[in-house]
Amino acid sequence: MKHRSKVWVFCITGGVFVFFFFSLISEVCAEAEAREAEIIETILAGIESNERAFSTLRCTYLLEERYTPEFLERFPHQKEKGTLIKKRIEWALEEDKVRLDQETIFPEHASEAVAYDGERTVSLFPVPGQEYKQGWIKDSGGKIRGDLGVSMIPSDLCIYFYNRPFSKFLKDNPPKVLGTEVIENSECQILKTAEMDNNFRFWFILDDKGIRLKKIEKTSYDEEYQVGSRFVCLIEDFEQVPGGAWFPKKASRSIYTKEKDSPEKLLRRDTFTVENLEIMTDLPDDLFHITFPIGTFVVDDFAKLLYKVEGEADIEIEKEIISEPLEEEREEIIKSEGLVETKEPEQQPPMTEGEKPAKETSETTVESKRPFGRIITAVLLAGVFAVIVAVIVIRVLSKRQRRIS
């Protein structure tokens, strides 16, 4: 009996110890989860503040695109343009409306424009080897970024990300905090999330100066072709605007590819530098409307029309009606007119049904993880552990007592 009493005392003491041990672990986990939720909430609040600050702006920036031999080998048509292309881009934004005017300044001069008025994307661009230009009217379905077809690096870094406001993207794909990393003498919080086949990591600076996105990394892998890609963007400099928000002033973007059993290869590296930035300016209403000049061939996917502008830039002229099933006839019309049929820009992951890129409210919703479940689990595990230990010890001592007696 004395032995059994000692066993029970030992078991109870062990159970209490295990209980407090698991309770301590649960408390530490709960504190870590609370800290993670606080970091994510702070970052989302900062991003939403930036979105409000940059709701109306005009920006001019210089974009340099550098292509590697590996890229030219994969895309031979790029060889004619060379390994370096310089562009100057004027970008205007007003709520959901966007306008971009892109001028290639090296190696040859060319210009194109694209505008999104909240419903349609209208673009005007030159046709290689032809004197005329081509117009394109598309039903964007509320997708702002994905249908523009012109580089919007500054927007990707502070306002829009994958067809929606950046804050909306993170709410649709709740991130996790991986830890911290020092980049260029700045400590950054690393967030990780995923959407479809793409994995994302974001590095944010959180200090007394405010929230700043320092780095983006996107990785994906195509199982069918066994080819992976990695996109890395590093913001090198920022400009603070009235109100305290930070705008990316200079950044670099690198794109890598990796085939199975082969080392990663750099395909291209882009840099952009902001030359002029105006925040909350009064923008004219006609800025987001593009008028086609005389001689422009227009493909209107919105109204299913194909026509050529012939009278004082007025698009209300004789048109060739295109119906949905007549794709072959459409191609014949395009060939007979000498019109170059361009492929639709690569679409980003589609938005969910009913989703609109409307303004987000200032409320930040973060799904908090409650630690109660873990605490209850820890208590139950402690109890089970104590019972198992008690049963084992009692059996061992009982056998020993029988042998002695």
Q: How far is CA 297 from CA 117, 149, 319, 372, in A?
A: 21, 18, 11, 65
Q: How far apart are CA 93 and CA 96, in angstroms?
A: 7
Question: Which phi and psi angles does 208 have, rounded to 5°?
Answer: -70, -10
Q: Are 167 and 361 in contact (CB under 8 A)?
A: no
Residue spans of the domains in the chain: they are 2-40+370-404, 56-337
Q: Are 303 and 322 in contact (CB under 8 A)?
A: no
Q: Rg of the chain over CA atoms, in angstroms?
A: 30
Q: How far apart are CA 119 and CA 130, in angstroms?
A: 30
Q: State both tokens at 85.
A: 């292309």
Q: State both tokens at 265.
A: 């290869």
Q: How far apart are CA 208 and CA 61, in angstroms?
A: 28
Burial pattern 108-128, b for ≥16 Cβ within 10 A else e, equals eeeebbbbbbeebbbbbbbee
Amino acid identity at 92: A
DSSP 78: G
pLDDT by 10-residue block (mean), the chain, 405 residues: 59 66 73 90 91 88 91 82 88 85 87 85 83 81 46 60 80 94 95 92 92 92 85 91 87 90 90 90 87 88 83 47 41 44 39 37 34 52 64 67 63
Q: Say what the pLDDT of residue 219 is.
A: 92
Q: Say what the pLDDT of residue 150 is.
A: 39
Q: Say what the pLDDT of residue 177 is.
A: 95
Which CATH number applies to 56-337? 2.50.20
348 CB burial (10 A radius; 0-12, 13-18, 19+): middle
Q: Calculate ∠ Cα 270-205-180, nearest 5°.
A: 100
Q: Say what the pLDDT of residue 212 is.
A: 92
